[in-house]
A and B are shown apart, each in its own frame.
Chain A
Amino acid sequence: MSQVTEYSEKVMDHFKNPRNVGEIENPAGVGTVGNAVCGDIMRMYLDIDDKGVIRDARFKTFGCGAAIATSSMATELVRGKTVQEALEVTNKAVMEALDGLPPVKIHCSLLAEQAIHAALWDYAQKNNIKIEGLKPPVNDINETKEFYEMGGK
């Protein structure tokens, strides 16, 4: 399989020119998901203002081209959104925004969704608030039901 020919132009663009790479000092929320054993770790930093609007999102990712591209796209999609709106940035939304992913890489988009959720969970914990519909983050994506449903093993 040639990675270069299986990725969409958008995936290649977000991999080669990733948006919002980096850290945020004293972030409102930060979350790390994934597993080094499987070769993907995503860390998402969020800066959230008093009105609950995401002002900035940054990421660091250890992983393949798709993992880096989905992280980049996820930060783009949540910026400027409210916390509630950010919850709707699902793996499907990330994938669609990237014009799709090769089947073996779909789990990367799930990782991006989980990274957003993990950062929001951290924000909620720090501020002692409850975000409707948000579940505690899973550390190991490979143990989630969704991962198995996507053909992961």
Chain B
Amino acid sequence: MNKLIYLDNAATTRVLPDISAAMSPYSEELFGNPASAYTFSGNINCKVDEARRVIADFIGAGPKEIFFTGGGSESDNWALKGLAFSLRDRGRHIITSKIEHHAVLHTCEFLEKIGYDITYLDVDSNGFISLDRLEKAIRPDTILISIMFANNEIGTIEPVKEIGRIAHEHGVLFHTDAVQAYGHVKIDVNDMNIDLLSVSGHKINGPKGIGFLYIRSGIRIEPLIHGGSQERGLRGGTTNVPGIIGLAKATEIAGAGLADRADYEIGLRDRLIERIEKEIPYVLLNGDRRQRLPNNVSFCFRFIEGESLLILLDENGICASSGSACTSGSLDPSHVLLAIGRPHEIAHGSLRLTLSDETTKEDIDYTVDSLKKIITRLREMSPLYEDFIRKQEAAS
């Protein structure tokens, strides 16, 4: 194994040196608790305020609408549970989709257990929810619509602005999990009618364990983490200063290069998709071709199983992920692939490759060349492929 080809940037990303450098003074030197009274801490508090403003500006929000959390999952949990509790006298119905991240889906399942009613919208074969069905699902007791900005497995970008418009026409709040979209596509919470938005730092070259929830001012929400008066009394816990500084720096860097980086990644993404479709038979692209995250490539390779594929890619120095049951630790393949209509046996053969601006054309070509060899090898071993070829021969 020579070079590491990291194509799992939707799982996590590396912290860039500039971001580490921005964070490092806040551990050993400027370690003070920003809530303390003395000047030493007060100065640190100013830095946190600055960071909050950078982030707010990036999504067109106000600094008082940004609430730091421990990451994307906490933000999703807070948005759903916090509103379910604060609005419980108004209604107990929430609308979401079948392809949400587990941080949303499992939270919804929990809310169902304690008496809430959840509608899980279907998606079409490209992963889009139907705006028509969304509107029809709204009831007088609907308190929240939670639909992800972009899907983490198949990269499809949902019609967020339209979803928000429909929500607001019916007086319903709109939350979106933007963990995969933030820093990759332009987000404006006002233009896109977003009331709450979840973000995680480590998906955009920031540190792990930090994220935020944008909450439009005027919305009443119960805290998820009760405690001190941090985050305007809505999220207890000593302020994660290095994390916040890192998240702001990551936002600054991602924001400044957003368009160029997207162009670069889309070029590589489409080259990867094109080569796979041209050079490997019996493959299915998952997700929409155009309304797609710049860095996401997702395929199902028929007649093979994803874990075998991942281990052999690993042997070639390539890091990737799969939605097969064996890689999820459960017996069912990815709920997202099933929701877009992939049969179980095809969903087991899925592969997700997520690029970064550090990925090169050479990396892409090496990956396709490796994939071709590995897929051929696994298909030669596969009884499903054998049966398929026999049937084809019999038919011709």
List chain A positions with a Cβ less than 8 A from chain B: 1, 3-4, 12, 15-16, 18, 21, 23, 32, 36-43, 60-68, 104-105, 142, 152-153
Contacts of B326 in A (CB 8 A): 3, 39, 63-66, 105
Contacts of A4 in B (CB 8 A): 311, 314
Asked if A62 and B382 sit within 8 Å, CB to CB, the answer is yes
Excluding A39-B333, A64-B307, A65-B308, 10 further A-B contacts by CB distance (< 8 Å) are A3-B310, A4-B311, A4-B314, A16-B315, A21-B380, A36-B384, A38-B325, A62-B305, A68-B308, A68-B381
Contacts of B382 in A (CB 8 A): 60-62
Chain B interfacial residues counted at CB < 8 A: 27
Residues of chain B from 210 to 245 with CB closer than 8 A to chain A in the complex: none
Q: Nearest chain B CB to A145's CB is how many angstroms away?
A: 17
Q: Which residue of A lies closest to B348 (CB)?
A: A39
Q: Nearest chain A CB to B71's CB is how many angstroms away?
A: 20
Residues of chain B from 298 to 315 with CB closer than 8 A to chain A in the complex: 303-305, 307-308, 310-312, 314-315
Asked if B381 and A18 sit within 8 Å, CB to CB, the answer is yes
- Secondary structure call for the A interface: mixed
Q: Nearest chain A CB to B301's CB is how many angstroms away?
A: 12
Asked if A1 and B329 sit within 8 Å, CB to CB, the answer is yes
Asked if B315 and A60 sit within 8 Å, CB to CB, the answer is no
Asked if A65 and B307 sit within 8 Å, CB to CB, the answer is yes
Residues of chain B from 371 to 396 with CB closer than 8 A to chain A in the complex: 380-386
Q: Nearest chain B CB to A14's CB is how many angstroms away?
A: 12
Q: Which residue of A lies closest to B324 (CB)?
A: A39
In-complex Cβ contact of B329 among A32, A39, A61, A104 (8 A): A104
Which of A1, A21, A64, A104 is most buried by chain B, counting CB atoms within 10 A of its CB?
A: A64
Q: Nearest chain A CB to B322's CB is how many angstroms away?
A: 10
B33 at the interface (CB under 8 A from A): no
In-complex Cβ contact of B383 among A15, A18, A43 (8 A): A43
Contacts of B329 in A (CB 8 A): 1, 104
**Known contacts A152-B331, A153-B331: A32-B383 contact under CB 8 Å:** yes
B12 at the interface (CB under 8 A from A): no
